[in-house]
Amino acid sequence: MAVAKVSLLDALHEHFGFDSFKGNQEKIIKSILSGKDTFVIMPTGGGKSLCYQLPALMSPGVALIVSPLIALMKNQVDLIRSYSSKDNVAHFLNSTLTKAQIKKVRTDLQSGKTKMLYVAPETLTKQENIDFFRELEISFIAVDEAHCISEWGHDFRPEYRRLKEMIDLVGSNLPIIALTATATPKVQSDIVKNLELRTPEVFISSFNRPNLYYEIRPKRKKDQTIKEIVKFIHLHKGKSGIIYTLNRKTTEELADMLVANGIKAVAYHAGLDSGTRAQRQDMFLLEEVEVIVATIAFGMGIDKPDVRFVIHYNIPKSLENYYQETGRGGRDGLEGLCLCFYSYKDVQKLEHLMRDKPLSEREMGAQLINETVAYAESAVCRRKVILHYFGEKYETENCGKCDNCRNPKEKIEVKNRVVIALKA
């Protein structure tokens, strides 16, 4: 045992230059190296990648890593290459590669030099790829962002549903490692079921973000709310912040209002062309603007460590979204203020957005909205409610970092709320 420990640390140091493991990393890596199915639930920034990268480097054969976003795939591979002296230790295979590039990847895989291959789910649907993978020695399959399997998650991708079927075509009894930052019990059981994990070892890290301050404010008239936001930003002059809104038009309007009030702000949403989006994202990262006013299109894969506040101009559609979006604040462990404006009108707007969806989706959506409303209206510690939502007990009496703990108050009442019927 002691020997194994020393060699794992040595391997960590040799391959990544780190001196110690973070959180559950070491236990997770041991589970993977023993060939067991492993399920890793760890908040964003916790260090999930290393959990499969190190075992991949230490095992014979190549690990296949399923990842949903082509852009993130390239980032990851570039990052691994920056740690390693050998460029062919990691590759990715997706629709962006040319024929010549694909040939190079295949040659490296056949030579056994490549230890990690990032693939999109689509890559696994192609018969020629399956046939090729069958001839390789595969160490294990890692499914990153595994919540994409579940409709209860915040980023459902139908292609993820067919992964197990395709993994079985690649090889029999391959160990599967599923990783996600989504901790709701419903999503977890969907992942275990869909990937048919065989009595997996499950590692759940705490989701508490002790440096984030949570506050809900009743939303008043538009002008007043904007005034409140302007005042808040002026109090935090020069700091970086994100404001999330429900729709594209509001991002533009709000950004204009902020600019009119002397705040450097830009809007960001999926209706902008990709060049403009990339440019505005860079302006935010390089601090040419202080505030980005965005729809939920902004965030995935963005890693700005010193975002000091996250404001929700509209209540988000689920507590899971709220956690992920506020989670982009204070990534460096320093202050992160999370302010959410709540009104009944915005709840109606959310329900209205679902009007054309099939009944089952509306039911699911309504349930998620109801949970968010319960959170907003609760007089209980915000941290406690969020962590409870993720199946985690938070025992501290007063967290000291939420509105309800700082100023105990009466329940916020919203009158005449019509809830979409949960049973047809």
- Binds Mg ion by CB under 5 A, chosen from 48, 91, 269, 382: 48
Per-residue contact track with Mg ion, 5 to 44, x per CB under 5 A? ----------------------------------------
399 binds, among ligand ADP, Zn ion, Mg ion, none (CB under 5 to 8 A by kind): Zn ion
Interaction with ligand ADP in 8-47: which residues (CB under 6 A)? Answer: 18, 21-22, 25, 42, 44-47
148 binds, among Zn ion, Mg ion, ligand ADP, none (CB under 5 to 8 A by kind): none
Per-residue contact track with ligand ADP, 49 to 78, x per CB under 6 A? xx----------------------------
Interaction with Zn ion in 309-348: which residues (CB under 5 A)? Answer: none
Q: How far is the CB of 398 from ligand ADP (least distance, A)?
A: 29
Query: How far apart are the C-alpha atoms of 72 and 65, rounded to whole Å?
Result: 12
Considering all CA atoms of the chain, what is the largest pairwise distance in Å, rounded to the nearest integer? 67
Residues forming a β-bridge with 214: 338, 402
Exposed (0-12), middle (13-18) or buried (19+): which is 282, by Cβ within 10 Å?
A: exposed
Q: Is 83 in the site for ligand ADP (CB under 6 A)?
A: no
Q: Is 399 in the site for Zn ion (CB under 5 A)?
A: yes
Q: Is 384 in the site for Mg ion (CB under 5 A)?
A: no
Q: How far is the CB of 108 from Mg ion (least distance, A)?
A: 24
Per-residue contact track with Zn ion, 342 to 381, x per CB under 5 A? ---------------------------------------x
Query: How far apart are the C-alpha atoms of 84 and 72, rounded to whole Å?
Result: 19
Binding site for ligand ADP (CB under 6 A): 18, 21-22, 25, 42, 44-50
Binding site for Mg ion (CB under 5 A): 48
